Chains A and B, each alone.
Chain A
Amino acid sequence: MSLIGQIGQWFDQRLQLAAPIRDVAEHPVPRNTASWFYVFGSAALTVFILQLVTGILLALVYVPSASEAWSSLQALNHDVTLGWFIRAMHGWGSNFMVAIVLIHMVQVFLFGAYKFPRELTWIIGVFLLLMTLGMAFSGQVLRFDQDAYWGLGIGASIASRVPIAGPIIVKLMLGGPIIAGATLSRFFALHVFVIPGMLIGFVALHLLMVIKLGINEWPMPGRIVKRATYENEYHELTRKDGAPFVPYAVWKDLFFAAFILSAVAACALYFGPFGPTGRPDPTVIQTAPKPDYFFLWLYGLLSYLPPAMETPALLIGPVVAIAFLVLLPFLSGEGEKSWRRRPIAVLTVLLIAIVLGTLTHLAGYTPWSPHMNAWSGDPVPEQFLHGRTALERQGALVFQVKQCRNCHSLGDLGGQRGPALDSVAVRLTQDQLIRQVIQGGGNMPAYGRNLSPAETTALVAFLETLHPGGQAPARDAARDLALSEDKVQQQGAPR
C-alpha cells in the first residue's frame, strides 16, 4: 500500500468518515435531475463559502467602530495591497448570493420541490433567504458611510411604527437613543457572528434533508404527488432510473460554481468595490441616501404607497409574505409538480418579478424625488424664452428662483415629481394656473405665502406661454364672455 493510502487509513480508522462520505457521494439521483436547472443550490453554497472567506479577510483590517470604520475601509481601498479587490469580491459576492438564492427559490417553486416530503427543506430555505437578506442589509451598515447612516435612520423609522413596541425596537436596533458607535457594533455582531452562525447551521440542515430525502425528481406533467405513495414511487424511480450523484450529476454543479466564482471575480475586477460614499457625518446633509440594489424595490415602494396605507403595509406586508411562504407547502403539499400544469404559480412568479423589476428600475432614477439642484443648475430651454415679453421672462426667472424646476421639468430637464410643464398652458386656463400655484393641491405645496402678487402674475404669464406651436392655450370661454360683457357695459355706460 502506498504511503498516502496508509496515512488515509490511519486517519479513517480514527475518524470513520470515509464510509458515510462515500454513501453521500454515491447516493443515487434520478438521471434527469443532472440538469443545468439543478445547479443553483450548490452555487448559492459556493458563494456563501466565498463570502465567509472574503469576510474573514476583510475582518483582518476592518475596525467596527463608528469613528474608525470609514477610515479602515479607505485603507482597504487604497493602502492595503489588493484590499480593494477583496472588498469588491465581498460586495459583488453579496449581490450574486442574493440573486442566486432568489433564482434557486424560483426554480424550487416552479419545479414543485417544496411539496411532500420536502416541506421542511423549503421552510428552512425561506429562513435562509431571510438571513441572506439580513446579511445584505447588515453588510451595507458595516460599510459605514452616508448611505449606511441614513439607511439605518430609514430602518429605525420603519421599526418605530410598530404599535407600542416601536420605540423599544428602535433602541434595541440602534443600541441607544441615536445612530452611533453602539449601532455599528451590534450590526457587526449580527453580520459577523449571529447571522453567519445561524446560516451555517441552517445550511447544514438544508443539505442534510436534501441528501436524506433525495433531490426532487424532474417534474412530469400528470405525475401527481400523494403522501401515501410518493416515497415508494421516488425510491422506485431512483432504483430504476438512478445514477450516482458523483460523478453523474456533480460535474454540472462544479462547472457552474467555477463559472459563478469567475463572474464574481470579473465583476470585482471590472467594477471595483462598492463605496464607501461620504463620511458618516450627520451634519453633512447634502446627500440623497439610497439602499443597495436588492433593497431598491422597497425604496420605490415606499414612495408610491399612499401615506395612510404605508404603516399597515410596512408592518403587515412582510408578516403576510413570510407566513405565506412558510405555509405554502402545507397549502399545496400534494398534487401536480410540473409548471406546465400550474399556470397560477407561473403567473405569480411573473407578476412578482415584474413588480420588483419595475420598482427597482424606477428606484434607479427616483422620479418621485425633487432634483435638489435643478432650480440653479438646469437651463430654461431657449424656445421657451425666445420672443417672450419682459413679464413672461420675469416669470421664467420666478419659475427657476422659486424652485418650481426641482419638481417640474422643462425640455426633459428638471425634477419629475410633478408633471412636465412643456405644454401646461394647453391643460390649464389662466385662472386654474393661478389657483394651482397659490393653493397647491394634488401633491403640490401651496405657494401663496411665498409669491407676491407681482411674482404670481409674472409666473402665470410665463406658464401661459408653455404650449406647442400648433396648439392654442386653454381658455375659459365663460370668462371671455364675462369680460366682453364688462366691456359692453363699460362702453355702453353714459360718460
Chain B
Amino acid sequence: MPNENTISRRGLFMKLGILFNGLVAAAIAVPIVRFLLSSVTRGRAGAYLSWVPLGHVSEFPEGETRLAAFRNPYVTPTDGKTVETACWVRRVAGEQFQVFAINCAHLGCPVRWFPQSGLFMCPCHGGAYYRDGSRASGPPERGLFEYPYKVQDGMVTIQAGELPTPGSPTASVFGNKAPCGARNELVSIESKLSASSETNSWLRKTKT
C-alpha cells in the first residue's frame, strides 16, 4: 500500500517534467519580456532625444510666432507621415526663442495660434494660452510644453524626439521652465508679469 509520504517513480518524473518546463519557460520569458519592453528600455538613456533643426533664424521674424515642422529623429520604415511633427516657434527678440509643442497640455490636441488676440486655442476642450505659452484659461493645468532650443550656425535647433504628454519626462524636465540658461529666465519672468502687473497698468491707463 503506498504511503502518503512516498512518491512513485512516475509521480517523480511528472514533477521533474513540470519543473523542467518551468525552468525552460522562465528562460524563454527573459527575451520575451525584454522584447516587449524594448520601447521603454531604449528610451531610458534618452536615446530617443536629439537635436533637430527647424530653420534659419531669419525665417522667424522678431516678435512673431510661426508654425514650423521637423522630422522626428527616430524613424522606422513604416512611419510614413507620422514622423513629421509641427511646433510653434516664437522669436521673442534676437536669438531669444520659445519653441512650443503643438500638443495642448490638457490632452494633446493640436493648438492653433491667433496672432490678433495673441492666444493659442485648442479645438478639443477649449484650452487657451498666452503668447508666452502660459495658461490663459480652460482645462489645462499648466502652460504649453516647450522644447529646449539653441541657435547653431544661424539655425534654430530643438531637442525633440518624444511625444510631449503631461507626465512625460520631457514635460517635467524642460516643460515651462527655462531650458537653456539665463536667457530664458527673462521669458519666464515676463510670463509671470504678463497677466498681473502689465494688465493693471493698462487698466490704469484706460481709466485715466
- A303 proximal to B (CB < 8 A): yes
* A453 touches which of B138, B162, B205 (Cβ 8 Å): B205
Kindly state whether residue B108 has any CB partner on chain A within 8 Å.
Answer: yes
CB distance from A122 to the nearest CB of B (A): 32
CB distance A439 to B199 under 8 Å?
Answer: yes
B82-114 interface code vs A (CB 8 A; 1 in, 0 out) = 111110000000000000001100111111101
List B contacts of A448 (CB < 8 A). 195, 198-200, 202-203
Q: Given A150-B109, A302-B107, A445-B137: A175 and B39 within 8 A (CB)? A: yes
Tally A-B pairs: CB < 8 A. 246
B 29-55 to A, binary, CB cutoff 8 A, 1 in contact else 0: 000000011011001000010000000
Q: Complex formed: what's the CA distance from A280 to B40 in Å?
A: 24
Instruction: Count chain B CB atoms within 10 A of each CB in A157, A160, A161, A451 and give the residue with the most.
Output: A157
**For residue A431, which residues in chain B have a CB less than 8 angstroms away from its CB?**
207
Contacts of B22 in A (CB 8 A): none
B136–A185 CB distance below 8 A: no
Partner of B43, one of A158, A171, A183, A450: A171
A67 to B138, CA, bound (A): 35
Q: Is the CB of B39 within 8 A of A176?
A: yes
Please, how many angstroms separate the alpha-carbon atoms of A67 and B128 in the complex?
32
A285 to B113 CA separation, bound complex (whole angstroms): 10
Q: How far is the CB of A64 from chain B (nearest CB, A)?
A: 9
In B129-167, the 8 Å CB interface with A consists of 130-131, 136-141, 161-163, 165-167
- Find the A residue at minimum CB distance from B72: A178
Nearest residue in A to B197 (C-beta to C-beta)?
A: A448
Q: Decide if B128 touches A445 in the complex (CB within 8 Å).
A: yes
Of all chain A residues, the one with the shortest Cβ separation from B123 is A288
**Shortest CB–CB separation between residue A265 and chain B, in angstroms?**
33
Minimal beta-carbon separation of B118 from chain A (angstroms): 4
Does the CB pair B110–A177 fall under 8 Å? Answer: no
Asked if B81 contacts A282 (CB within 8 A), the reply is yes
Structural contact, B136 and A445, CB atoms closer than 8 A: yes
CB distance B137 to A150 under 8 Å? Answer: no
Is B67 an interface residue when CB atoms closer than 8 A count as contact?
yes
> What CA separation (Å) do A150 and B166 show in the bound complex?
15
- Are A402 and B83 interface neighbours, CB within 8 A? no
Shortest Cβ gap from B176 to chain A (Å)? 15
A145-182: CB near B (< 8 Å → 1, else 0) gives: 00001100110111111100011101110111111111
Please state if A182 and B76 are interface contacts (CB–CB under 8 Å). Answer: yes
Complex interface residues of chain A between 39 and 76 (CB less than 8 A to chain B): 65-68
Q: Nearest chain-B residue to A441 (Cβ)?
A: B137
Also in contact, A453 and B165, with CB within 8 A (given A153-B107, A154-B107, A176-B74)? no
B121 within 8 A of A: yes
8 Å CB interface, A448-466 against B: 448-451, 453, 456-457
In angstroms, Cα B203 to Cα A217, docked, is: 73
A153 engages B109 (CB within 8 Å)? yes
Given contacts A170-B163, A177-B43, contact A446 B136 (CB under 8 A): yes
Given contacts A167-B168, A368-B126, contact A434 B207 (CB under 8 A): yes
Q: Which of B40, B107, B117 contacts A168 (CB 8 A)?
A: B40
Is A401's CB within 8 Å of the partner chain B?
A: yes
- Docked pose: A370 CA to B137 CA in angstroms: 12
State which of A280, A285, A303, A447 has its C-beta within 8 Å of the C-beta of B139.
A303
- Chain B residues near A287 (CB, 8 Å)? 110, 123
Q: Is the CB–CB distance between B109 and A181 below 8 Å?
A: no
Q: Contact: B119 with A403, CB < 8 Å?
A: yes
B125 within 8 A of A: yes
Is A444 in contact with B206, judged by CB distance below 8 angstroms? no
Given contacts A177-B74, A181-B76, A282-B102, contact A446 B199 (CB under 8 A): yes
| A19 contacts partner chain B, Cβ-Cβ < 8 Å | no
Q: Is there an interface contact between B82 and A176, defined as CB atoms closer than 8 Å?
A: no
Choice from B36, B78, B165 contacting A65 with Cβ under 8 Å: B78
B166 touches A157 (CB 8 A): yes
How many Å from the CB of B172 to the closest CB on chain A? 9
Nearest Cβ distance between residue B139 and chain A, in whole angstroms?
A: 5
* CB-contact partner of B78 in A67, A172, A279, A449, under 8 A: A67
Interface status of A308 (Cβ within 8 A of chain B): yes
Asked if A380 CB lies within 8 Å of chain B CBs, one says no
Per-position contact with A for B183-196: 1 when CB-CB < 8 Å, else 0?
00000000000110
Asked if B169 is an interface residue, CB under 8 A from chain A, the answer is yes
Provide the residues of chain B in CB contact with A303, threshold 8 Å.
124-126, 139
Whether the Cβ atoms of B162 and A68 lie closer than 8 Å is no
Given contacts A170-B165, A182-B39, A283-B69, contact A450 B107 (CB under 8 A): no
Contacts A157-B165, A285-B102, A402-B117; is A181 near B82 (CB within 8 Å)? yes
- 14 further A-B contacts with Cβ under 8 Å, apart from A67-B81, A160-B165, A369-B123, are A65-B80, A157-B108, A176-B39, A178-B82, A182-B39, A282-B81, A282-B84, A285-B112, A369-B124, A403-B121, A431-B207, A434-B206, A444-B137, A445-B119
A-B pairs, 9 with minimum CB distance: A67-B80, A448-B199, A160-B167, A153-B108, A445-B136, A166-B167, A181-B78, A160-B165, A303-B125
Interface residues of B (CB under 8 A from A): 36-37, 39-40, 43, 48, 67, 69, 72, 74-86, 102-103, 106-112, 114, 116-119, 121-126, 128, 130-131, 136-141, 161-163, 165-169, 194-195, 198-200, 202-203, 205-207
A residues whose Cβ falls under 8 Å from a Cβ of B: 65-68, 149-150, 153-154, 156-162, 166-168, 170-172, 174-185, 279-283, 285-289, 299, 302-303, 305, 307-308, 310-311, 368-370, 372, 375, 401-404, 406-407, 417, 431, 434-435, 438-440, 443-451, 453, 456-457
Could you list some 21 contacts between A and B, CB below 8 A?
A153-B109, A162-B167, A166-B165, A167-B169, A170-B163, A172-B40, A174-B39, A177-B74, A178-B83, A182-B39, A185-B78, A279-B81, A285-B111, A311-B141, A369-B123, A372-B121, A403-B114, A434-B207, A440-B137, A440-B195, A446-B199
